[in-house]
Amino acid sequence: MGELLSLALDFLFVASMSLHNSTKHTDKHLDMLKEYDWFTTLYYNPKYTRLFNHNKQIRGYIGQRLSINRMIRKKKASEILIIMLDKQAKKQIV
């Protein structure tokens, strides 16, 4: 019984560390994107601010290294982010 409890606690610890690292990466990527005017305009738009801070899909997309690199280099990737933001904003209103 003690081993099972120990395994469960180890699993929870690893899962919480993974979530922490994921959040840390997302916040770092948000800071990188804030250096660009197009992103700053989106980030401080009251319609989207809450999404950047609390929405799983948006934070997951921004947390991916590949997504962030594409957004920095290609306008099309930033347009995809805008489409995602609009979809998620509509879901919040409903």
- What pLDDT, in 10s, does the model give residues 10-51? 444 444 434 545 788 899 999 999 999 999 999 999 999 999
- Interatomic CA distance for residues 82 and 61, integer angstroms: 12
Q: Can you give the pLDDT at residue 13?
A: 44
Residue with tokens 């469960």: 8
Answer yes or no: are the C-beta atoms of 93 and 86 closer than 8 Å: no
Single-letter amino acid code for the residue at 73 = R
Q: How confident is the model over 45-72, as a mean pLDDT? A: 89
Identify the DSSP state of 55.
-
Alpha-helical runs (H) found in 1-94: 2-33, 37-43, 46-54, 56-63, 65-73, 75-93
Domain extents in the chain: 24-93
pTM of full prediction above 0.75: no
